[in-house]
Amino acid sequence: MLEEKPAGLIKFPPSGGDPYHVRTGDSWESIAKANSLSTWALIEFNFPVVKTEANFQRKCRMVNWLLRHSVGCTKSSDGKNYRFDGSDRPGIVYIPLFDIPPVYTDRVNLHFRSLSLTDVPFDRIFRAVQRAYAPHGIQMSFASGMSLGLSDAEAARFASVTGTCEWEITSGEFAEIQRLGPPIPSTDIAVYFVKEFDTTSLLGCGGHLPDKHACIVAAGAATYSTAHEVGHVLLGSTFTPVHDPAISNLMYAYESRTGDPPSLNATQLTRMRASTCCRSI
């Protein structure tokens, strides 16, 4: 195997990034592509010691050495380079939000409460929330998460949530759901995942109780829909336009919004930073 121990200080795991357990068939390229990253940015995030190596062949040999010693890779397809395999131990690499780490100036604390599993895996949903706001210096922080243990009667009643999405929720099933679970700080945001709304076209609602910042998202919502509903909470009831006409904007009304991540404009960001839920770091 073509290996060479790096001469510099080896630091693994890296600071930040989401842990990902590699699977058979994975490659640096496939993992990077799935997370909207460039391949070498992903490699160098995990192994920053190779960043300054100018000789490409030496750089690759160092990566091989690090794969064996840090990720636990033992298998190869060509006898020269290690490949990822589901049997690797610990078999974990770390995935940053972007090629270049964002600089944060503000933070929003989110508390997730689940009445239903989501169609999009939760780790992808939370990553999308982070990716939507990170380019603008807003760090979305996972403050807490829990699956709400409902009685059989409650589970049956909330299987399809009835109500109308209004800015101020005061009664009905929307209000009942937002009262479930332990209390959260008044400056934080609660996100509730439900199976569905009885209005099939509704996939989320940013309206909430007067004394609580919260939103409700249906299980079938798209990857960036949770970030969209959190945006409504941050913008508040008086912001206009409620939905941005640009399809590339996070606050576009429909699930067909484009961009990874979708954009936010200066006016939206000014209002979001003024929210009591968005605090300077």
What are 207's two structure tokens?
């309206």
| Single-letter amino acid code for the residue at 92 | I
Average pLDDT of 27-38? Answer: 96
Task: Label residue 79 exposed, middle or buried (CB < 10 Å: 0-12, 13-18, 19+).
Answer: exposed
129 has pLDDT over 80: yes
256 has pLDDT over 90: yes
Vertex 280, ends 143 and 271: CA angle to 5°?
95
Identify the CA nearest to 90 among candidates 37, 46, 140, 134. 46
Instruction: Give the count of domains, the chain.
Output: 2
201 has pLDDT over 90: no
CA separation, residue 54 to residues 1, 68, 186, 278 (Å): 21, 22, 51, 42
Q: Are residues 82 and 219 in the same domain?
A: no
Structure confidence at residue 113 (pLDDT): 98
φ, ψ for residue 128 (rounded to 5)? -65, -40
Measured over the CA atoms of residue 141, residue 262, residue 96 and residue 87, the dihedral's sign is positive
10 falls within a domain: no
Q: Are residues 150 and 191 in the same domain?
A: yes
5 falls within a domain: no
Q: Confidence class of residue 60 from pLDDT cuts 50, 70 and 90?
A: very high
d(CA 60, CA 243): 48
76 and 82 Cβ atoms separated by less than 8 Å? yes
219 and 210 Cβ atoms separated by less than 8 Å? no
Q: What is the pLDDT of residues 95-127, one digit of tens each?
A: 999 999 899 999 999 999 999 999 999 999 999
Q: In the chain, count of helices (H) and strands (E)? A: 8, 10
Higher per-residue pLDDT: 155 or 196: 196
Residues of the domain holding 119 = 106-280
d(CA 219, CA 196): 6
16 has pLDDT over 90: no
Q: Are residues 147 and 225 in the same domain?
A: yes
**pTM of the predicted structure, to 2 decimals:** 0.89
Partners of 75 in the β-ladder: 83
Out of 95, 128, 145, pick the residue that ends a domain.
95
